[in-house]
Amino acid sequence: MEMIKVITVRSVIHCLLCLVITVAASNISTDQQALLALKDHITYDPTNLLGTNWTSNASICSWIGIICDVNSHKVTTLNLSSFNLQGTIPPEIANLSSLKSLDLSHNKLSSNIPSSIFTMSTLKVLYLMDNQLSGSLSSFTFNTSSILDIRLSKNKLSGKLPENICNHLRYLKHLFLRENMFYGKIPSSLSKCKQLQELHLGYNNLSGAIPKEIGNLTVLQRISLINNKLHGEIPQEIGYLQNLDVLQLGFNNLTGVVPATIFNMSTLKEIFLYNNSLSGSLPSRIDLALPNLEFLNLGINSFSGTIPSSITNASKLILLEMGSNSFSGFIPSAIGNLRNLKLFDIFFNNLTSSTPELGFLSSLANCKKLRYLGLGGNPLDGFLPSSIGNLSLSLERLNIAFCNISGNIPKAIGNLSNLIVLSLGGNNLSGSIPVTFGGLQKLQGLDLAFNKLAGSIPDEICLLSRLNELDLNGNKISGSISSCLGNLTSLQYLNLGSNRFTFVIPSTFWNLKDILSFDISSNLLDGPISLAIGNLKAVVGIDLSRNNLSGNIPTTLEGLKSLQNISLAYNRLEGPIPESFGNMTSLESLDLSNNKISGSIPVSFEKLSYLKELNLSFNKLKGEIPRGGPFANFTAESFMGNELLCGLPNLQVPPCKHSQPRAQHKSKKTILLLVIFLPLSTTLVIAVALALKRGKRGTMLSNDIILSSQPTIRRFSYFELLRATDNFAENNIIGIGGFGSVYRARLEDGVEIAIKVFHPQCASTLKSFEAECEVIKNIRHRNLVKIISSCSNDDFKALVLEYMSNGSLEDCLHSSNCALNIFCRLNIMIDIASALEYLHFGHSTPIIHCDLKPSNVLLDEDMVAHLSDFGMAKLLSGEDESTMRTQTLATIGYMAPDEIFVGELSLKRWVNDLLPVSLVEVVDKSLLSGEEKHFAAKEQCLLSIFSLALECTMESPEKRIDAKDTITRLLKIRDTLSKRIGNLS
Ligand SMILES: *[C@@H]1O[C@H](CO)[C@@H](O)[C@H](O)[C@H]1NC(C)=O
Ligand SMILES: *[C@@H]1O[C@H](CO)[C@@H](O)[C@H](O)[C@H]1NC(C)=O
């Protein structure tokens, strides 16, 4: 069906208006010439607006994006913002002699900014932000003395900031150069732009000190120099700026004491000094000194002294971030007077409370907008008052970890029904976990580790269905582990280690399919380890050590392809180490020590090339210690306490008696196994490589595959993605679907990526995200869109994908700029058929895409097609695979809707009815008009494609052709055509 669509673009393609301008040059105004020059330099216009609207039979003043002066009919405004245009800006644009406003922002324009723009004598506003403009401005002459506003943010401009920019731009009020690649110093000559109100130079590579001359820009309101490499002290002259309301200097290398003048600027609303090495203390009358302050962010610096109690009069404060400094003394007990406070964070300081019942905490109950309260890492030395339950209902994050708190956890904490994360770890809390915790229905993270909590886990914890992380490590909790914990299927981190749990591991735990880290070590659990442990498909770390577990080591562990660390030490396990452990290719550390394990060490361990730590000591192992692979690095400690092991003398074991013949025999077998296993394991190895968190790794049996297709799995934080998409700005959206939106994004290093963001909190998109993750985890093919990474936390799920610069096939088919000749189309068909062949046959579990349509086919730079969007894909696994497969293949999958084909008339039927007689009616006119040279050859080729397409869309699965045969046929069709008419591509 897809193939028919490729050929028969049934919606009439917008005519490409190839305007042949025959009008004599003298009849065209200079303005028109300038605009036509611009149109000429646009290489891609996805909606073809300029093609259909900027036509020479209409006055330029009626053209879209143009405003003219009513009297002179000269162009005064040119605004093509967010048209998604590609191309360059021609120097002729400067010939628009009355232009006041030029806005080409939010497009994909590239190459240099023509220097002529800065000679225009009428221009007031220049907006070129969010394009791909490059080059340096440092040699430009800036003569645009009329200009008020220059915004060039979010491009790829580099070089030094021009020294002379302010020589003539006397009236410049706004200068936005953020998110480029400028380097060198901030020129002190900026002080000549006397009218400057806003200066944005953040997210560049600027170095040196902040010039004190900035202090002469008396009308300056905002300075943002965030995220550069600025050194030295903050000049006190900045404190003389009487109109400044925003000062952002965070993420630099600034040092020294913050000048007193800065903390005395009555106009300031925001001070952002986060992440520098600044020191000094706050003024004692901060309320009078900074009466308008709303945002004070001093986090990650070396500030000291007390928090002045006068701060409680700074009633406009919304955000107070002081974390990771050296503040000391009491937390002001009237802190709750700050009624607008949304975030109060003082983590890792030396602050304490004036009362053991933490009076400031009761006071904070007055802050009804409070969402984030971070007190962790301060010696509060008290107990939690029940008034903690009166804190704002808006509270989402509460961190009181490592504060030396003792006593019970107040039941009233259960009132805070909007909490998402609660951290009380590392205190001296005693008593039991309150049953009221069941009221924290939105909780995703619960950290109670390293306290003295006793009693059993209340079943109410099992009501917390969104729980992602549960950490009860290092308490005195006893009883059996509630089996209902296994219902918390969102869990990824579960730590019940170092408690006093008895009885067996509940069998429900093996339902935790998404669990990444599973630790129940150092308890009193007994019974065998269930074979169902093999269900924990995602798990990376397992620690069951120091219990009384008995029986054999489960052979199903072999199936855990992401497992990196496992410890079963100090139990009563017996029997052999399964030979199949050699297939746990991600394994980095394995501890089976202090059990009763017998048999020999499997030679298959030599394949575990990432294995760095191995402890088999104090068991009953015998026979030869293998020598290959990682064994070269292990010492005697790994093997001690096994009396019957033999091998090399450095391992402090006796030499083996018949070592030569045995080794040879074994390795032959291994080779044989390898030969048989290798082709099968190829995808498996790729899947493992994909699942690995750390990409850079050594060699293993198929290292060429890993190295060529999987250089490094890069991890992205939410904030990186936020920045790369300009806070998920709408103009970066390149696609919208039921699941959410896809954004175009550019990373710090200039690399373009696409980010698919799933709608939060919606079961169906979560499912779609999970489906997609499940599928892509296991696949990799030239014609599938490459997933670079994923970013998933409690509130945010996204996939980071390779960016496909030529957009979707759908867009291409409906655009006149994206001419696809018959060879291009055949290549795209072959690409997609190859992708389908891989999905259906290239893998032990067949994958059905279920949403194949032109908008899910993306084209890269070289017009190679890549299939995307696995949100609806199905993995065909299960016991009776063959029946299931037939069933699924027998259902008619989704097909792209086609509005002209309603009722009885399907696209397929329509094609069937018209062929072969009326081929020309069916085919896209640009492929076959009936009058061309190679008509016969093309006609035959197209008929073959249609006949194949009809075979692909047979309703009966038995009659339907499969992907393998489809490719063979397509290749043949392409060959025949190129032999007859020569390959045009
Ligand atoms: C071009 O677009 C403008 C603004 O949308 C519209 O008023 C004008 O009629 C259009 N001209 C043509 C030739 O389509
Ligand atoms: C800049 O300001 C300082 C005082 O802060 C003053 O002495 C100096 O004359 C000013 N320079 C100019 C060029 O206005």
Question: pLDDT (tens digit, 9 = 90+) per residue, 453-491?
Answer: 999 999 999 999 999 999 999 999 999 998 899 999 889
pLDDT for 565 beyond 60: yes
Contact 458, 436 (CB under 8 A): no
pLDDT digits 0-9 by tens, 100-118: 999 999 999 999 999 999 9
pLDDT for 708 beyond 50: no
**DSSP label of 750:** S
What SS3 class is residue 614? Answer: strand
Residue 892 to residues 436, 559, 885, 886, 889, Cα–Cα distance (Å): 51, 34, 13, 12, 7
Percent of the chain at pLDDT exceeding 90? 55
For residues 917 and 946, what is the distance between their CA atoms, to the nearest angstrom?
13
Residue 424 to residues 132, 331, 611, Cα–Cα distance (Å): 47, 19, 35
Contact 190, 166 (CB under 8 A): yes
Describe the chain by its helix, strand, coil percentages, rounded to 5. Answer: 30, 20, 50
> Token match 């015998």: residue?
622
Chain mean pLDDT for the chain: 83
Distant-in-sequence, close-in-space partners of 482: CB < 8 Å, separation ≥ 6? 456, 457, 459, 461, 462, 506
Provide mean pLDDT across the span 753-760.
81
pLDDT digits 0-9 by tens, 13-51: 222 222 222 233 334 689 999 999 999 999 999 888 898
pLDDT for 705 beyond 50: no
Q: First-to-last CA distance in the chain?
A: 25
| CB-CB neighbours of 283 under 10 Å | 18
pLDDT class for 787, splitting at 50, 70, 90?
confident
Which mutation among 190, 216, 240 tests ligand 2's pocket best, with the greatest number of atoms within 8 A of CB? 216
pLDDT of residue 933: 76
pLDDT of residue 917: 74
Contact 637, 613 (CB under 8 A): no
pLDDT for 608 beyond 80: yes
pLDDT of residue 871: 67
Strand (E) or helix (H) holding 501: strand 500-503
pLDDT of residue 659: 47
Residues in the chain: 985
476 is in an annotated binding site: no
pLDDT of residue 872: 66
Which one, of 908, 837, 840, 821, lies nearest residue 5 by Cα?
908
HSE-up (13 A, CA, CB side) for residue 426:
13
- Cβ of 257 less than 6 Å from ligand 1: no
Provide mean pLDDT across the span 636-649.
90
In order of their start, the domains of the chain are 129-280 (3.80.10.10), 515-663 (3.80.10.10), 670-980 (1.10.510.10)
- Cβ of 59 less than 6 Å from ligand 1: no
pLDDT of residue 17: 23
pLDDT for 674 beyond 50: no
Print burial letters for 476-510: b (CB count within 10 Å at least 16), e (below 16). ebeeebbeebbebebbbbbbbbbbebeebbbebbb
Provide mean pLDDT across the span 808-835.
82
pLDDT of residue 877: 53
Contact 146, 124 (CB under 8 A): yes
pLDDT of residue 967: 83
Nearest residue by C-alpha to atom 9 in ligand 2: 216
pLDDT for 263 beyond 70: yes
Could you tell me which residue, 919 or 829, shows the higher pLDDT? 829
Provide mean pLDDT across the span 265-287.
93
pLDDT for 694 beyond 60: no
pLDDT of residue 761: 57
Which one, of 300, 302, 298, lies nearest residue 290 by Cα?
298
pLDDT for 792 beyond 80: no
pLDDT of residue 959: 78
Q: Say which ligand is closest to the CA of 67.
A: 1
For residues 777 and 787, what is the distance between their CA atoms, to the nearest angstrom?
9
Beta strand 66-68 with 75-79: parallel, antiparallel or unpaired?
antiparallel
pLDDT digits 0-9 by tens, 517-530: 999 999 999 999 99
| CB-CB neighbours of 458 under 10 Å | 16
Provide mean pLDDT across the span 488-500.
92
For residues 753 and 804, what is the distance between their CA atoms, to the nearest angstrom?
8
- Cβ of 53 less than 6 Å from ligand 1: yes
Provide mean pLDDT across the span 833-840.
83
Which mutation among 63, 67, 79 tests ligand 1's pocket best, with the greatest number of atoms within 8 A of CB? 63
Cα of 96 vs centre of ligand 1, distance in Å, is 20
pLDDT class for 148, splitting at 50, 70, 90?
very high
For residues 491 and 516, what is the distance between their CA atoms, to the nearest angstrom?
8
pLDDT of residue 691: 26
Provide mean pLDDT across the span 606-621.
92
Assigned token pair, 511: 């339902």
Range of lowest pLDDT (46-55, 80-89, 690-699): 690-699
pLDDT of residue 785: 84
pLDDT of residue 478: 94
Provide mean pLDDT across the span 637-662.
81
pTM over 0.85: no
pLDDT digits 0-9 by tens, 319-356: 999 999 999 999 999 999 999 999 999 999 999 999 99
Cα dihedral across residues 19, 23, 29, 33: positive or negative: positive
Active-site residue flag, 381: no
pLDDT of residue 945: 87
pLDDT of residue 8: 30
Q: What is the 3-state secondary structure (H, E, C) of 36-50?
A: HHHHHHEEECCCCHH
Catalytic member of 447, 543, 851, 869: 851
pLDDT digits 0-9 by tens, 863-902: 889 888 776 666 665 444 443 333 333 333 334 447 555 5
Contact 794, 808 (CB under 8 A): no
| Rg over CA atoms, the chain | 34
Give the pocket of ligand 2 (CB within 6 Å).
215-216, 237, 240
pLDDT of residue 695: 29
- Cβ of 19 less than 6 Å from ligand 1: no
- Cβ of 56 less than 6 Å from ligand 1: no
pLDDT of residue 949: 85
For residues 927 and 977, what is the distance between their CA atoms, to the nearest angstrom?
13
Q: Say which ligand is closest to the CA of 194.
A: 2
Cis peptide before 114 (omega within 30 of 0): no
Tally DSSP H helices, then E strands, for the chain: 16, 56
Print burial letters for 690-710: b (CB count within 10 Å at least 16), e (below 16). bbbeebebeebbbeebbeeeb
Provide mean pLDDT across the span 697-721.
42
pLDDT for 205 beyond 80: yes
pLDDT of residue 794: 67
Beta strand 421-423 with 445-447: parallel, antiparallel or unpaired?
parallel
Q: Say which ligand is closest to the CA of 48.
A: 1
Cis peptide before 916 (omega within 30 of 0): yes
Range of lowest pLDDT (306-315, 377-386, 755-764, 915-924): 755-764
pLDDT for 685 beyond 50: no
pLDDT for 2 beyond 50: no
For residues 137 and 157, what is the distance between their CA atoms, to the nearest angstrom?
8
Percent of the chain at pLDDT exceeding 70? 85
Distant-in-sequence, close-in-space partners of 644: CB < 8 Å, separation ≥ 6? 620, 621, 622, 623
Which one, of 568, 622, 574, 610, lies nearest residue 593 by Cα?
568
Distant-in-sequence, close-in-space partners of 71: CB < 8 Å, separation ≥ 6? none
Which mutation among 35, 64, 66 tests ligand 1's pocket best, with the greatest number of atoms within 8 A of CB? 64
Beta strand 277-280 with 874-875: parallel, antiparallel or unpaired?
unpaired
Cα of 57 vs centre of ligand 1, distance in Å, is 12
Nearest residue by C-alpha to atom 13 in ligand 1: 53
Cα of 195 vs centre of ligand 2, distance in Å, is 15
Which atom of ligand 1 is closest in space to residue 63's alpha carbon? 1
pLDDT class for 156, splitting at 50, 70, 90?
very high
- Cβ of 883 less than 6 Å from ligand 1: no
For residues 235 and 258, what is the distance between their CA atoms, to the nearest angstrom?
9
Q: Where are the alpha helices (DSSP H) in 797-956?
A: 809-813, 822-841, 881-890, 907-914, 919-922, 935-952
